[in-house]
Structure 1
Amino acid sequence: MIKVEGNAKINLTLDILGKRPDGYHEVAMVMQSIGLSDTVEMEKTDGPIELTINVPWLKADEKNLAWRAAALIKEEYKLAGGVRMKLTKRIPVAAGLAGGSTDAAAVLRGMNELYALELSEERLCELGARLGSDIPFCLLGGTMLSTGRGEVLKRLPDLPATWVVLAKPRISVSTAWAYQNYDEQGAKDHPDNERIQQEIARGDRKAVAGLLCNVLESVTIKKYDVISQYKQMMMQQGAMASMMSGSGPTVFGLAESKETADRIATHMREHTDAYVYVIRTTGKVQ
C-alpha cells in the first residue's frame, strides 16, 4: 500500500482572456500550492476500481475525479489489475481550492508508482489535462504561470514561504456559473501577470501581495456579499492582502508572520461560521 498527498492551491492572479472555439476559456493565472492536503491510500487489487471517502455525501464512483483518474490509467495502459483507494479529504469541496483536481493528480501519481509505469511528469500532465484543466498544476505544484485553458504551465521561482489564512463560507460556488456570469458582465480590473512574476522572482512578498487580482471576484461577490465581508475582516486584522481564490467562495489572506495569521484566524472563527485554516505556501511536488 502507498500513501499519496495532494496539496490544495490558491490563485495569486486569475485573468480571463476570452472564450475559445472549443468552449473553454483562455486564462492567464499565477497558481500557488498551499499546505492543506488530501491523502489517498492506494493498493493494487485483482478486482475493479474501489473508492471510499471520509465525506459520505461525495460520489465515490465514475463521477469522482479520483476514480476517473484511476480508470484513465487502467484503460490507457491496459492494466489487468485494479486499485483500492481510501480518500481522506481535508480540502473543502467546491471551494476554489482545486480539491477534486488535487485528488485526481494524487491518484495519477499513485497509479504510476503502484504499477511501475515510469511515466514522465510531462506524460502525467497530458493525461491529467484530459480530466481537468487544474490537474497538471496539481501534479507539479509550487508557483506557476498557467495559460491556455489552464494546462499550459511555466515554472516560476517558489514564492518565499508565506503564511496563509483560508476562510471558506458555508456556501458552494459552481465554476461553470462563475465563468458564464463573467462572460455576461466582464471585469473592470485585470491582473498584471508580468509584474507579479517579476516580484515573485525578486522574492518580495509585500509587492506580490499588492498585485493580487482575480477577475471572477466581482462576479461572485455580486451574489455572495459574505466574500467581501471576509476580505475586509482579514485586512482589518492585519493581512498584507486578501482575495477570493478561483471561482470562490474561499477567501484567503496573506500574513507577514505566524502571529498575524493566528490573529486573523482567531477573529474569523469568533465572528463568522466559516471553515478556517492557517497554513503556509509550499514548493513544487517532489
Structure 2
Amino acid sequence: MYVLEKAPAKINLSLDVLYKRPDRYHEIEMVMTTIDLADRIEITPLFENRIVIESENRFVPNDERNLAYGAAKLLKETFSIKQGVKIKIEKHIPVAAGLAGGSSDAAATLRGLNRLWSLGLKVNELANLGAQIGSDVSFCVYNSTALAQGKGEIITELPAPPACWVVLAKPIMGVSTQTVYENLNIDRVNHPDTKGMINALKTANYEKMCDYLGNALESVTLSMHPQVQQIKDQMESSGADAVLMSGSGPTVFSLVKQESRAYRIYNSLRGFCNEVYVVRTLGYHQSLD
C-alpha cells in the first residue's frame, strides 16, 4: 500500500512585512495562491520504525533538514506512531526559489500520512501542526488561495484568482530568506495594498489583481541580485500584464491572459536562465479524503 500526493508550488500575489515581533520573527501579511507546477510525493509504509527520504535531486536533503522528514517525525511523535515510512519526492519545483517547494512537500506529507495512518485530522488541525515545521506549511496544507498572517500560520481562505497563465523564471542562484529579512529596513518598506488584492480576488477582477501585485521583500533581493531585475525588465518588455518576484526570491513570475503571449515571454527568457516554466493558476481548495 502507498499514498500519492501532489505538492503544488505557490506564488505570492501580495507580501507585506508589518513589523518585527518581540520573538524576533516578522509580522507578515501575504496573499498566496497555488500554481500548476508540483512535486509528486509517494509515501510507503516500512516495517522498520524509521523515516526514509528518497529523491533523485541532489539538492534535496535526505535527513532532518528536509521539511517532509520533519512532518513525518512530528506526526509520529505527536500520535505515538511506531510505524516507519519511506517518502519519495519527485521534484519539479525549483529548490530555494521562493515557491515554497519544501513547505509544500511537508504539507503533502502531512496530508498523505493523515490518510495512511487513518488519523482523521481536519485541514485546520493539519495546518496547526504545519506551523511547527515552517512558515509556509500551514498555507500549503490548505492547497488553495488564502491570506496568511502572523508568522504565516493564521490562514483565511480566499476565492481562487481569475484563470490566467503564469510564466516563472528562476536564475541559477538561490536566495536565503533569512538573509533577505536581515537586510530589510522595516522603516523603508514599500507596503503593498493587501486589502485591494483581497477585493480583486473577491470580485474576480483580473486587471485589479495585476494592479495590486506587491512584495515588500522585492527591493531587498533586487539590490543583492541585479539579475533578478534583468528578468523583471525582460518580462515587462515582452508583454506581461504584471510582473513580481515571489517570496524572498529569486524566482520572478509574470501574469498574462493569452497563451501565445505567455510563450512569447517564455521564449524571450531562455537566454537569461535555464529554469523557465509556463503554467496555469490553480488556487482552488482541494479537500482531504
Normalised to the residue count of structure 1, the TM-score between the two structures is: 0.97
Match of 2:142 among 137, 140, 143: 140
Measured in 2, the distance between the counterparts of 1:39 and 1:122 equals: 22
Where does 1:115-194 land on structure 2 (aligned, <5 Å)? 115-183=117-185, 186-187=188-189, 189-194=190-195
SS, match of residue 111 in structure 1: helix
Match status 1:4 vs 2:5? yes
Percent identical residues: 44
Q: What is the CA distance between 1:276 and its match in structure 2?
A: 0.2
Q: What is the CA distance between 1:274 and its match in structure 2?
A: 3.5
Runs of 4+ residues deviating >4 angstroms? none
Aligned to 1:277: 277
Q: What is the CA distance between 1:261 and its match in structure 2?
A: 0.7
Q: What is the CA distance between 1:173 and its match in structure 2?
A: 0.4
Measured in 1, the distance between the counterparts of 2:188 and 2:102 equals: 27
Measured in 2, the distance between the counterparts of 1:254 and 1:227 equals: 17
Match of 1:59 among 36, 54, 61: 61
The answer to whether the Cα contact below 8 Å between 1:7 and 1:102 also exists between their aligned partners in 2 is: yes
Q: Which runs of 5+ in 2 are unaligned?
A: none
Measured in 2, the distance between the counterparts of 1:146 and 1:279 equals: 23
Measured in 2, the distance between the counterparts of 1:166 and 1:57 equals: 20
Measured in 1, the distance between the counterparts of 2:94 and 2:197 equals: 27
Measured in 1, the distance between the counterparts of 2:144 and 2:260 equals: 24
Judged with a 3 Å threshold, the aligned counterparts in structure 2 of structure 1 residues 14 and 184 are, in CA distance, closer, same or farther, namely closer
Aligned to 1:248: 249
Aligned to 1:107: 109
Deviation readout 1:183-217 (Å, 9 max, x if unpaired)? 47732x21111111111111111111111110111
The answer to whether the Cα contact below 8 Å between 1:46 and 1:80 also exists between their aligned partners in 2 is: no
Deviation readout 1:133-171 (Å, 9 max, x if unpaired)? 100100112221111111111111111221100000001
Judged with a 3 Å threshold, the aligned counterparts in structure 2 of structure 1 residues 12 and 52 are, in CA distance, closer, same or farther, namely same
Measured in 2, the distance between the counterparts of 1:13 and 1:193 equals: 6
Match status 1:37 vs 2:38? yes
Measured in 1, the distance between the counterparts of 2:197 and 2:52 equals: 43
The answer to whether the Cα contact below 8 Å between 1:139 and 1:285 also exists between their aligned partners in 2 is: no
SS, match of residue 130 in structure 1: coil
Measured in 1, the distance between the counterparts of 2:58 and 2:219 equals: 33
Q: What is the CA distance between 1:56 and its match in structure 2?
A: 2.1
SS, match of residue 97 in structure 2: coil
Q: What is the CA distance between 1:284 and its match in structure 2?
A: 2.0
Where does 1:249-264 land on structure 2 (aligned, <5 Å)? 249-264=250-265
Q: Which runs of 5+ in 1 are unaligned?
A: none
Deviation readout 1:236-272 (Å, 9 max, x if unpaired)? 1111010100000000000111111111101111x21
Where does 1:209-228 land on structure 2 (aligned, <5 Å)? 209-228=210-229
Where does 1:220-239 land on structure 2 (aligned, <5 Å)? 220-239=221-240
Please provide the CA RMSD for this pair.
Answer: 1.1
Measured in 1, the distance between the counterparts of 2:215 and 2:74 equals: 32
